[in-house]
Amino acid sequence: MRSTLLIALPKGRLFDAAIGLLQRAGVETDGGVGSRKLTFTDKGGQYEFVALKPADVPVYVESGAVDAGIVGSDVLRELECDVNEPLDLRIGLCRLAVAAIEGSDLTALDHLRIATKYPRTATRFFSARHQHTHIVRLEGSVEIAPILGLADAIVDLVETGRTLKENGLGIVEEIAPVSAKFVVNRTAMKTRNTAVRKLITSLDKVIYAHP
């Protein structure tokens, strides 16, 4: 058995915030900067980190290939992963929302074409309100889809709303608030309980110290 706890971090928008949060919780790392190795350790030698594509983090955690990870709740809900989620990290805060061209009336359509990177989340949301949809699954630059007529609306992450605005889109409705979660493999939660609890406690302290 490995003596360190192996933790997956998401590359991209959450990476720096995650490293910063770990730092404040007393877990010092250089973030793997200047090294070509795929994993890096903290100075205390208790943790080992691997940076992965965000959508791969829950896959690694669920299978137990890593013990724990940090991942956005948007990815977690979309992939419907079976993991423990013991702590909301309050970083990467944004919203998952339905957006459309400013001024368009979606209620006039009885069949909505939705472009999104979140097909399952979108399907769940619209089916709960008995709205028929056709989902177009895209990998990125979703905002362009309504403009080019590929879809009537999009379901996407909204941070400041600037990208939407610049493309003439506006929020129609919010689906859910999004934030990063600390997730733990179900077996590791039990077999490595002491080590996992220790990290959760130090993270919890710095996140919720000044509410």
Partner 1 sequence: MTPLSASALPPGFRDLASQDAARRRQTDARLAAIFDARGYREVLPSGIEFLDVYTRGNQVISERAFKFLDREDRLLALRADFTPAVARMVAPRITPGADPMRLWYSGNVFRRVEPRKGGYAEFWQVGAELIGGSTLEHDVEMIALALENLDAVGMSSASVHINHAGIFRGILNAAKLPDTARERLASEIDHKDARALATHLEELGVTAAIGEQVHVLARCIGGPDVLDEAAAVLTDAESRAAIVHLQHLAAALTPHAERLVFDLTEIDEMEYYTGVMFTLLSPARRSPLGMGGRYDLLLRAFGGDSPAVGFSLTMDGIMEGR
The structure tokens listed for 99 are 């957006």
- Please state, in angstroms and rounded to a whole number, the distance separating the CA atoms of residues 207 and 211: 8
What is the Cα Rg of the chain in Å? 19
N- to C-terminal Cα distance for the chain?
38
Distances (CA, A) of 209 to 182, 198, 199: 17, 16, 15
Contacts of 9 (CB under 8 A, 6+ apart): 15, 18, 19, 49, 50, 51, 52, 57, 69, 70
- DSSP H or E segment with residue 156: strand 153-158
Q: Which is nearer to partner 1, 24 or 120 (CB)?
A: 120
Q: Which is nearer to partner 1, 154 or 188 (CB)?
A: 188
The structure tokens listed for 44 are 């205390």
Shortest Å, Cβ 1 to partner 1: 5
Q: Which is nearer to partner 1, 47 or 98 (CB)?
A: 47
Q: Which is nearer to partner 1, 173 or 208 (CB)?
A: 208
- Contacts with partner 1 by CB under 8 A lie at 1, 59, 62-65, 79, 81, 84-88, 184-193, 204, 208
Shortest Å, Cβ 8 to partner 1: 14
Q: Which amino acid belongs to residue 196?
A: V
Shortest Å, Cβ 179 to partner 1: 11
Shortest Å, Cβ 64 to partner 1: 3
Shortest Å, Cβ 183 to partner 1: 9
Q: Which is nearer to partner 1, 88 or 143 (CB)?
A: 88
- DSSP H or E segment with residue 147: helix 144-147
